[in-house]
């Protein structure tokens, strides 16, 4: 559908942003539902998220995805922030509610919805180890705690970041070490090890995990990291980060449009781009 005079606009801001899969996900969703909306990417340099929010207000942009380096800085310019975004100190989604700009974090519930989509794990009965304590790991940890996970153990190279991240799960969170993965029902790699220039590396020894345990590697590019390949070769149930990517976008779509996200159309579109 070509834009018209009444087309509503959603966008992502970030730097870098040209590789973002968000336009693919959201435009596929608008198209599937026949909505007169379109989604574009704006390269916005660090320190300029306030200017971007002024543009959102002036132009009446309806929804904004926020990625690095703006996820924390943008909190200052919003009219309201959801409890989960406030706890994480990170916003990845802004909804323009008739001029009131409301920040949310859909990565946290998006991870949990993706997990429910991929697995049949009962989180209330699950001991989870999250490896990593950066922005992505923090969203996973908070999402798991909000969804009622029995225990969330955080393992990270840098100890003070691990302590701050574990605190996001309140009394169910603690810092652990890599041997804790042996007794976990679910292990999540939320480090950047396995992507970018670290594709040959594994975040932990896959031999620590046995069949019967579930692993999610939140990396989705490559779709099969070395960790996932070795785990699957050992008969372990293991998933990549595509579901988290998909369901964080689905939730943002629903906040902006009020419609149920067409998840399978979004999934097909993103998989076809990643397959290229
Ligand atoms: P993001 O916001 O994408 O999560 P980040 O905040 O830079 O990115 O966090 C990256 C995570 O990967 C951190 O947990 C980092 O560990 P540190 O907190 O110790 O820096 C982890 N990480 C990255 N490269 C790593 C490596 N080679 N070995 C172990 N952990 C690594």
What are 237-266's pLDDT values in tens digits?
Answer: 999 999 999 999 999 999 999 999 999 999
28 lines ligand 1 (CB under 6 A): no
In this prediction, residue 207 carries a pLDDT of 97
Q: Say if residues 219 and 240 touch (Cβ distance below 8 Å).
A: yes
182 is catalytic: no
Angle at 151 between CA 145 and CA 157, to 5 degrees: 90
Q: What does the pLDDT read at residue 77? A: 97
The per-residue pLDDT for 1 is: 76
pTM over cut 0.85 = yes
Distance CA 181, CA 15 (A): 35
The HSE-up count of residue 203 (CA atoms within 13 Å, CB side) is 30
Closest atom of ligand 1 relative to the 131 alpha carbon: 14
- At 239 the pLDDT is 98
Low-confidence ranges of the chain (pLDDT < 50): none
Beta bridge partners of 214: 186, 237
Residue nearest to atom 2 of ligand 1 (CA): 135
Structure tokens of 70? Answer: 């703006």
pLDDT reported for residue 29: 98
Residue to mutate (ligand 1; options 66, 157, 198; most atoms within 8 A of CB): 157
């Amino acid at each position: 559908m070509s834009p018209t005079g009444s087309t509503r606009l959603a966008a992502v801001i970030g730097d870098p942003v040209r590789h973002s899969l968000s336009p693919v996900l959201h435009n596929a969703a608008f198209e599937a539902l026949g909505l007169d909306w379109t989604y574009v990417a704006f390269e916005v340099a660090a320190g300029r998220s306030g200017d971007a929010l002024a543009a959102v207000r002036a132009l009446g942009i309806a929804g904004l995805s926020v990625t690095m380096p703006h996820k924390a800085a943008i909190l200052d310019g919003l009219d309201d922030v959801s409890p989960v975004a406030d706890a994480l100190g990170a916003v990845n989604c802004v909804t323009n509610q008739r001029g009131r700009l409301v920040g949310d974090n859909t990565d946290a519930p998006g991870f949990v919805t993706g997990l429910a989509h991929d697995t049949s794990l009962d989180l209330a009965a699950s001991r989870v180890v999250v490896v990593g304590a950066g922005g992505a790991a923090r969203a996973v940890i908070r999402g798991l705690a909000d969804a009622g996970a029995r225990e969330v153990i955080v393992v990270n190279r840098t100890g003070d970041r691990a302590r701050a991240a574990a605190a996001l799960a309140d009394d169910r969170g603690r810092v652990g070490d890599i041997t804790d993965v042996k007794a976990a029902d679910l292990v999540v790699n939320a480090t950047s090890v396995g992507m970018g220039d670290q594709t040959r590396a594994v975040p932990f020894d896959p031999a620590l995990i046995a069949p019967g345990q579930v692993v999610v590697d939140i990396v989705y590019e490559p779709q099969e990291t070395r960790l996932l390949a070795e785990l699957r070769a050992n008969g372990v149930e293991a998933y990549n980060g595509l579901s988290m990517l998909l369901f964080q976008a689905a939730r943002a779509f629903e906040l902006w449009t009020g419609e149920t996200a067409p998840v399978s159309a979004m999934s097909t579109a993103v998989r076809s781009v990643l397959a290229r």
